[in-house]
Structure 1
Amino acid sequence: MKIDAVIFDMDGTLFQTDRILELSLDDAFERLRLNGLWEGKTPTSKYREIMGVPLPKVWETLLPCHSAEVRESVNEHFLERLIDNIQSGKGALYPHVKEVFTYLKEKQLKLFIASNGLPAYLESIVNHYGLDRWVDAAFSIEQVHSLNKSELVNMICDKYDVKRGAVVGDRLSDITAAKDNGLLAIGCRFDFSQEQELIQADAIIEDLMELVDLFLVVDDLNPSPACK
């Protein structure tokens, strides 16, 4: 049975988050500095290491000694700055996103986004770049109580009756979500990816256009049975 749906990660897979990450993070930590709640440089490199985890986990890691109230305030400001930077055109999609989406829709595949980003952030990217022309639905990790991407992907499979699909993403959470649900795991060797994570994928790409050729031979990759 051929692939009938593709579930894409957003950050570091479809959207070049790196273009707005440092700007937005600097703004958030500058606010902490002004309030006497942070000293030193913005921990951008640490954030890059954990990119792909839900935002609550991000702030627990970056601000381990701060209160839940401070983390929530920083999270809100960071989200505002991310959205402002998206809407002002400082971000960008990865090359060939729209071409690949057009090709996959012509093949009558269902397309979804499963993101660890918050709903407002995800919606701002989808709207700014008009991705809803191709994407059947976009889902935030906040739509599952566990904040677990495997559960989010399973929800998509159940809701849209995905029988044989693939998950395309750059981090281990994407690869794990695919394997936990019996889907093909396609790792993206992009900005935030890590080799020790990518080697667990069924296939690795360095450009989204490689998906075109990959899905032509996908039956030879022998993906596992469909979603649970």
Structure 2
Amino acid sequence: MTQIHSQKTPIPFDAAQIKVIAFDLDGTLIDTSQAMLDVNHEVFSEAIHNGDAKKQPTKDEIYSTFGMIGDEAWNTLASEIPDDRADQYKERHNELLRKKMDAQSFALPGVAELLKSLADRYDLATASNCGEGYLERVLAQDGLKKVITYPLCAGSVNAEQKSDVLRELLRQSGLDTSQVLMVGDRKSDVDAARKAGIPVVGVRSEFGEENELQTADAVIDTIGDLKKLLKL
């Protein structure tokens, strides 16, 4: 039976036991930050022109919403837009982002090759706070859909938090918590893994703050360092 550890309980990390590796998306496998900045700029320019917003969200404000679940990111940025107009701008935002994601790959350098290599030894999963459409567009690029055994996200499992996505992964895989590894770039990834009782590797990224990953079981500088950590 899967055991759930306390968030504060250290979890031994034994690479030899790992059978499934779950990856966060943004900042870990992909970088849609510029697309997000561009899309938000266009949408808020329209809102300002129409008198529905007073200012553009800053880069830091947009980055701070990365990792939020469901509509939380949009609601945070669009808090001043009138309620009766917010959904219209949200759909415009989503439409522009869909077009960008359909047009190009946002995978970080070496990610496609890394995942294809890892898939020879492990089952791979995603564990993201995104919606199903967003995840499908990410996996449609670079042949990633073929190497992900468990394409999970908050939208696909109706999760209220990322730890729910990881618990669903444990349920579907039938594995013990010591056999599943989470890889992510933010404190929210570390916290989610702790709540689900699985070990976690932090990947440094430009979106994280200093010492944000200090409670991870291991921290690597780039996603490519994962193979070295796993002694492959």
The bucket for the TM-score relative to the shorter chain is 0.7 to 0.9
Aligned to 1:40: 55
C-alpha displacement of 1:67 = 4.4
Structure 1 spans left out of the alignment, 5+ residues: 218-228
Give me the whole-angstrom Cα distance separating, in 2, the residues matched to 1:43 and 1:187: 26
Give me the whole-angstrom Cα distance separating, in 2, the residues matched to 1:149 and 1:134: 21
Cα gap change, 1:105 to 1:145, in 2 (>3 Å): closer
C-alpha displacement of 1:66 = 3.5
Aligned to 2:126: 113
Aligned to 1:15: 30
Aligned to 1:221: none
The amino acid across from 2:112 in the alignment is K
What secondary structure does 2:43 align onto?
Answer: helix
Write out per-residue CA displacement over residues 131-185 of structure 1, whole angstroms, 9 at most, x where no aligned residue: 0121113122123445200011101110121331111111122111211122111
Give me the whole-angstrom Cα distance separating, in 2, the residues matched to 1:213 and 1:165: 18
Write out per-residue CA displacement over residues 46-92 of structure 1, whole angstroms, 9 at most, x where no aligned residue: 01123111242113322223444433333222221112112222x52
C-alpha displacement of 1:197 = 2.0
Cα gap change, 1:21 to 1:65, in 2 (>3 Å): closer
Give me the whole-angstrom Cα distance separating, in 2, the residues matched to 1:173 and 1:73: 29
Matched, 1:104 2:126: no
One of 156, 178, 199 as aligned partner of 2:169: 156
The amino acid across from 1:195 in the alignment is E
Cα gap change, 1:139 to 1:71, in 2 (>3 Å): farther
One of 139, 149, 154 as aligned partner of 1:141: 154
Give me the whole-angstrom Cα distance separating, in 1, the residues matched to 2:82 and 2:70: 15
CA contact (8 A) 2:112 2:142 kept: no
Give me the whole-angstrom Cα distance separating, in 1, the residues matched to 2:164 and 2:172: 12
Write out aligned runs for 1:1-228 (5 A). 2-89=17-104, 91-107=105-121, 109-163=122-176, 164-216=179-231
Give me the whole-angstrom Cα distance separating, in 1, the residues matched to 2:175 and 2:34: 33
The amino acid across from 1:169 in the alignment is G
CA contact (8 A) 1:111 1:134 kept: yes
C-alpha displacement of 1:129 = 2.5
What secondary structure does 2:140 align onto?
Answer: helix
Give me the whole-angstrom Cα distance separating, in 2, the residues matched to 1:155 and 1:69: 35
What secondary structure does 1:216 align onto?
Answer: coil
The amino acid across from 2:116 in the alignment is T
Cα gap change, 1:140 to 1:70, in 2 (>3 Å): farther
What secondary structure does 1:111 align onto?
Answer: strand
Aligned to 1:222: none
Give the CA RMSD over aligned residues: 1.9
The amino acid across from 1:99 in the alignment is E
> How many pairs does the alignment contain?
215
The amino acid across from 1:192 in the alignment is F
CA contact (8 A) 2:53 2:81 kept: no
What secondary structure does 1:106 align onto?
Answer: coil
The amino acid across from 2:110 in the alignment is H
Write out per-residue CA displacement over residues 32-52 of structure 1, whole angstroms, 9 at most, x where no aligned residue: 123210122333320112311
